[in-house]
Structures are given as structure tokens and as C-alpha cells.
Structure 1
Amino acid sequence: MLSTFKVLILDDHALCCEHTRSLLMEAGIVDTHIACNARDALQMLRDGGFHLVITDLKMPDMDGLQFINELSQRGLHPMLVISSSCSRRLMNSVSLMAKESGFSVIGMFQKPFGADHVQVLASQLRSLRAYERKSAPGIKERPIFAKAHLIQALEEKTIQAWFQPKKSLLTGHTVGVEALARWNDRQFGFMMPGSFMSAIRFHGLDHALLVRMMEDAMSAHLAWRSAGHVVPVSVNLPIPLLDDIGLPDELHGMAARCGIAAENITFELLEDQAVGIPANYYMCASRLRLKGFGLAQDDYGRGYSSMYSLISTPFTELKIDRAFVAGAAGDEVRTAALTSSVQLGRQLGLTVTAEGVETTQDLELLRSIGCDCVQGYLLSAAVPASEFALMLASEPRHQGNPT
């Protein structure tokens, strides 16, 4: 499975490149290539469809940040791993820069690159290959989608919900699931949200996508319920849609027609845009809670999320952004921010969920600071509803702590 990934290692020290390559090959990642300067790496990436680049930051001529920026300018977006002797705070900043430029950063590792890093990387790659295969890794530019193309995809349900479990750190049980959009397009293949969400927003199709995700989430919930598993579902809700004061009634009507109690649906407020009409926002958020829906502040610590929003909106759950979670066990600054966020959420009486859990070290840190629930690749990537049903069926009735 790992042998199908094509990997480029970029480091100005040839010995570091060879060491990393040796570790990857021992783990079964055999299609590995080396570049000792960024310009050679850019040429190699232009000529061949690499899935992943492992890059240093401190390099002469063109540093790692300039390299990542140049990749983006050329429309090349392989997955990235940052391996550097720079501080974790600097690596965090570079990771955010890369993510804002459209890259999937699947690891940040302090040099020297070691076997434990390879283990984490291999685990993520296995999950990607098993659950989130991209059928066209050689595409060099993000496709631009016409509105009619997106509407057709929504109507034909080629944009659909996949489901990522949320597990309790106290019991290890699956206590909920988040619906995440995936698109399997005839022309462009399998796509993650980063490839099409900006087009959804540009064409004003946020509401249509919300309805599509609700349909899939409710259908899956009913199927799991019929098999004896009552699993609450979470659906992402963009903040601008709360300008429509009729939205709570519409969503409640959808749930009622399916025979699903509002208490089994949580809306995760995506605060990557500012509130449009504050009065409407508070009215809609409050009416959603009056009708029994849960409300989660998503991606806490990023975008427009704030402490004021946290205390002024009737949230039931706080979801801490993966930017604070991934790698926190080896980063004093992230640990401090994470601990503070968990304590705040618990003091406000909220369920606290950490997203982006990728290592057992981060999982144990979250357990030690009193976090309630976790999501992330360590536990499971998002999977289709049918696969999630199999996961539920195989879950022991009295399962221990997640590992």
C-alpha cells in the first residue's frame, strides 16, 4: 500500500536526505527521490506526479518558505511534511502559511528525522490510501468549477458525506460522528473539501451543501439506529447562513420529517467568516438551541472564533482546532494553549473535543488535561456511511480507552 506513494525529500544536506530515504524505504515507502536544493526539487515536481514532499526550512538560495510559496504559485500542491531543526513555534507558523496556501500538511517533525516520525507518517499515509484516495495525483492545478457543475454534483449526490468518529476519552466509546463533504467527480476524481469549498462559497451554494450534508447525515443516522446504534451526528454550518432567520425552522422540519430528535444533531458553526447581521446570528443560534439542537464552536482558536463568541453564543460543545492539537505533546507553547482551552471549556460546562489527534503522545496529553472527546487520524479518517456501520458493529460494547 505505501509503495504506491511517490515521495520527494528536500534537504541541502545529502546525508540527511539519505538517512530519511533509508528510514522511509524500511517502512515500505520505496518510491523516494532526493533533491539537495529547492530549484532542483521544483523541476522534479514539475516533471513527475509526487504525492508528498518532505522539506527542510533552512536552505541556501531558496529557503523552505520560498519553496512552498513557489509551489503554490505554480499550481503544485503535493502533501507536505516539514522536517527542520527550527523551533516548533516557527514550524507552526510555516505550517499555517502552507495550509492557507492550499497545502495539506500531514506532519511537522523536529530533526533528526527518526523511526518514530516515519511510524506516524506511515500511519497517516495508510489512512489516506485506504479511505481518501485521490484518483488524479498528477493534476497540477486546482480545477475551477462552474456553478452548473457544482449544482449537478449536489443533485446527483456525487458530493456526499463521509463520517469521522468522535470518541470519549473516558470510555473509549464512539459518542458521535462528524459529517464531512467528499466529492467523487467523473472528470476530476475523488476530491477533499479544500479542492471545491471555495467554489461552493463563491457561487453561493453553502445552503445547498448544508441540505446535502443533512440528508446524508440523517439517512446514515437512521441506518445505524436500525442496527441498534444511536450515534449523534454533527454537521458543519457556515456562519453567514444564520442571516436567514427561517433556517432553524427549516432544519427542525427536516429532522422531524425523518423522525430524528433534534438532540441527536449538532451544528458546528464554521467561524471562518465574520457574522453578517449580529441580531440574526444570535436569534438563529438561540432558536436552534431552543429546538433542541446542539451547537459546537468549531475550530476554536482560528479564524473569527473568539472568547467573546464562546460566552455570548449558547454553545454546547467546544471543538479545539487541530492547529493547537497536532504535535502538542512535544511543544510547550501548544500544550499551554491547549490546557487553557480545555479548562475554559469545562468551566463553561461545555463538552470539549480535540480535533486532529495523530499520535498516542498527543492523545495521552489530552487525557491528562481533562479533554472529553477526540477526533483524528489516529482513531480513524472519515469513511463512507457503510464502512462506519461496520466499525460500529465491531466496536466492543464495553470498549476501553482509545489508543
Structure 2
Amino acid sequence: MKPYKVLIVEDHPFQHEYLLKLFRNDGGFEVDSAWSGSSALNLLQRYEYDLMVSDLFMPEMDGVQLFQKITSLKKRPAIALMSVASRRLLVSAGLSAKNLGLKVVGLISKPVVPNAVIQLRSRLDALASQAQEYATISLSLERNTLLQAMSNGQIQAWFQPKKSLRTGKICSAEALVRWCHPTLGVLPPSDFLGAIAQFNLEDALVGLMLEQSLKAQALWRSEGFDVPVSVNIPTHLLDSNDLADRLYQKVLDAGAEPQSICFELMESSTTEKISNFYAGACRLRMMGFGLAQDDFGKGYSSYFNLVSTPFSELKIDRSLVHGCLERESLALALESIVDLSHKLGLIVTAEGVETQEELEFLRRIECDLAQGFIICAAIRAGDFIELLLEDSPKPALT
């Protein structure tokens, strides 16, 4: 296999030579090095690298400034950050890089150990495999293609269960969009939601997801299960003053109750006017819908909005859940958020739960609900019935 081209940026003489030796001894890398951020930037402008490993603390141009500048490059390497500083500082720097669109494959505390280099190579292998997989996918993301997929049933609502951390029972579900493509198989939302937004089809998608959720509820109800469903709304859609009315009418036309639907305001956008945010949120609640702040801790959400908006539910973003067992600061933040939410009368749901240990921690801090792959991925409405049947009380023996 062709070795990865890596650029090491380190100003300390001993660390510089030590890192060169580590990467060269591994055998999976072709290594260049730079002593400063400016010299690294010069090399990045002239050559293409698969990976840049940079110290955070350097004179003239530190590591954070360096990756801010490389966002302008056409070919940007994956990033690994090194430091003797606190883990919290490393994580913060990594989040800064990720939010600039860079691929962060490592946050490494010094001194760097050989196993950290092996892990970097494994993550680069995963990125290369992913890139090769995506290269084989050819989607024609035109407006008419998306509209046709929405009208012919290819774009569907699948459902991920939310389980109570007290009883272990399924108590609701979230509708998540999937594209069942005739030749490419089931595509995740990351493959097409950008185009949905680009062609101003988000409003139509929300309507479709609501309609399919109402049909799923009717199906489940015919089997004896009454399951509330959450539907995502990009927050900027609240700029449409009649959004609440249109959603309410869809529910009435289906013969359903607004109380069975919760709308989750997504963190991917905000309204043009803050008044539209509060007006839209109030009107949805006045019509009887549940209202959740989605992805709390990730984007535009704030404690002021939390205490000022008539939410019925708070959904904690998975970025706060992952690592909560290793990082005391995350654990304390989660406990504080759960406590405040309960004082405000909100149901608290943790998203993206992946391990039994995370479930146990969330149970200890009295989080109400959890969803994530450890419980179940999103599945079709018909398959969801099987989960409900497994979850329901077994008949008594006679």
C-alpha cells in the first residue's frame, strides 16, 4: 500500500527529531517536517499531504492559526493536533478545526507514544476507504430528481426508538429521513440533505415526514400501540408565519391529535428575526404540539432560549454524551443540564448513546430518555412494530 504523506510541524528540537523517528519507524508514512507554522503553510501550498501533525504552541503562528489558514487551500490534509496542554484545550482546538470543515483524526497528548501513530494510520485508512466508497456513488442531485423521489416514496421516514431510562420501555420515536435509492440502496441524510436545502425543499420534506409519521402511527395504533413521534424542523422555517397552521391542518386531515407529534427545532439554522422564532414556537405549542430543542450544546441554542421558549423536551447533542465517562467537565455539564431541565419541567433525551456505560451514567444523573445505536438504529415503520411487540408485556400464563 502506498505510504501516506505526512507533514510534521514542531518547533522544539528534541520533539521534532523524536516525531520524525516515530513516523519513519512506523513504515506507513512518507514524512516531511516544518519548524514553524509559516514554513508549514509554504509547504502545504506547494505539495499535497494526507496528514498534518501540528503542535498547538508555536511562536509567530500557533497551531490554531495554522489550521485557520489552511482552510483556503484547495487540497487540505487531515489534521492531528499535539500538545502538553490540558485535554480540554486540545478538544476545544479540535472542535474549532472541525467546525472549519477540516477532518480531525487525532488529538494527541505529549509525549507522543508509538500507539498514537498506529491509530493515526488506521484513521487515515478509514478515511481512504470512505472516500473510495463515495467515489463509486453517482447521485444526480437535481431539484426534479429530489421531487420525484419524494413523490414516488423513495424518500421515506424511518423511525428510531426513544427508551425510558427508568423502565427500559419504548415510549416514543423520532422520524429520520432515508432515501431508498433504486440502484444505490439506502442513502443516509448526509448524502442528500444539502441538496434539499439548496433547492429550497426543506418545507416540502417536513410536510412529507409528518404525513408519513401520521401513517406510521395509524399502523401502530391498529396493532394496539400509541407511539408519539418527533419530526425535525430546520429552525429557519419558523420565518414562515403560516407554518404552524399548515402542520396543524395536516394532522387534522389525518384524523390524528397534535399531542401525538413533537417538533424538534434543529440547530442547523436560525430565523432571520428572533421574533419569528418565539412566535413560531409559541403557536406550535398553542396548537397542542410538543416542542423540543434538538442538539442542545451544539450550535445556536442558549440557556436564554431554553428558559424563554415553551419547550416540552430538551435533546442533548451526542457531542456532550460521547466522552462523558472520560472527561469530568462533560459529566458535570450533563448533570447540570439535566437538573436545570427538570426544574423547567422538561423531558430530557440524550442522543447518540452508543455504550452500556453511557446508558448507566445517564441513568445515574436521572436523564429521562435515550436514543442511539446501542438501542436501535432507525428502521422502517413496519419493522418498528416488531420492536413494540418485543417491548410489550408478555401475556400471563393460564
| TM-score above 0.5 | yes
**1:277 partner amino acid:** K
Q: Which residue of 2 aligns with 1:26?
A: none
1:169 aligns with 2:165: yes
Q: 1:246 to 1:342 in 2, by over 3 A?
A: same
1:269 aligns with 2:265: yes
- Residues 37-186 of structure 1: matches in 2 within 5 Å? 88-90=87-89, 92-93=91-92, 96=95, 100=99, 137-139=133-135, 145-186=141-182
Matched residues in 2 for 1:101 and 1:185: separation? 31
Long gaps (5+) in structure 1: 1-7, 20-32, 46-52, 126-133, 399-403
Shift of 1:259: 2.1
Per chain length, whose mean CA-contact separation is higher, i.e. which structure has more relative contact order (CA < 8 Å, sep 6+)? 1
Percent identity between the two aligned chains = 38
Q: Which residue of 2 aligns with 1:223?
A: 219
1:383 aligns with 2:389: no
Q: Which residue of 1 aligns with 2:36?
A: none
Matched residues in 2 for 1:224 and 1:308: separation? 38
1:347 aligns with 2:346: no
Matched residues in 2 for 1:358 and 1:325: separation? 9
Shift of 1:308: 1.4
Shift of 1:102: 6.3
- Residues 4-43 of structure 1: matches in 2 within 5 Å? 35=29
The SS at the match of 2:149 is helix
Q: 1:343 to 1:113 in 2, by over 3 A?
A: farther
Q: Which residue of 1 aligns with 2:242?
A: 246
1:367 aligns with 2:363: yes
**2:362 partner amino acid:** L
Normalising by structure 1, we get a TM-score of 0.71
**2:91 partner amino acid:** N
1:293 aligns with 2:289: yes
Q: Which residue of 2 aligns with 1:128?
A: none
Q: Which residue of 2 aligns with 1:194?
A: 190
Matched residues in 2 for 1:70 and 1:156: separation? 43
Q: Which residue of 1 aligns with 2:42?
A: none
Higher Rg of the two aligned structures? 2
**1:92 partner amino acid:** V
Q: Which residue of 1 aligns with 2:229?
A: 233
Residue-by-residue CA offset, 1:210-230 (whole Å, 9 max, x unaligned): 011112211111111111111
Residue-by-residue CA offset, 1:25-84 (whole Å, 9 max, x unaligned): xxxxxxxx9557699xx9998xxxxxxx9x98879xxx99999x9899778999x99999
Shift of 1:387: 2.3
Residue-by-residue CA offset, 1:4-45 (whole Å, 9 max, x unaligned): xxxx9x9979999999xxxxxxxxxxxxx9557699xx9998
How many positions carry a matched residue from both structures?
A: 356
Matched residues in 2 for 1:146 and 1:186: separation? 16
Residue-by-residue CA offset, 1:299-320 (whole Å, 9 max, x unaligned): 1122211111112211000111
Matched residues in 2 for 1:264 and 1:77: separation? 47
2:252 to 218, 241, 256: 256
Structure 1 contact 56–84 (Cα < 8 Å) conserved: no
Long gaps (5+) in structure 2: 9-18, 34-46, 57-62
Matched residues in 1 for 2:136 and 2:65: separation? 20
Structure 2 contact 150–208 (Cα < 8 Å) conserved: yes
Shift of 1:356: 1.4
Normalising by structure 2, we get a TM-score of 0.72
The SS at the match of 2:238 is helix
Q: 1:86 to 1:187 in 2, by over 3 A?
A: farther
Q: 1:146 to 1:82 in 2, by over 3 A?
A: farther
Q: Which residue of 2 aligns with 1:320?
A: 316
**1:269 partner amino acid:** L
**2:228 partner amino acid:** P
The SS at the match of 1:297 is strand
**2:393 partner amino acid:** R
**1:214 partner amino acid:** L
Structure 2 contact 154–180 (Cα < 8 Å) conserved: yes
Q: 1:162 to 1:311 in 2, by over 3 A?
A: same
Farther off after superposition, 382-391 or 134-143: 134-143
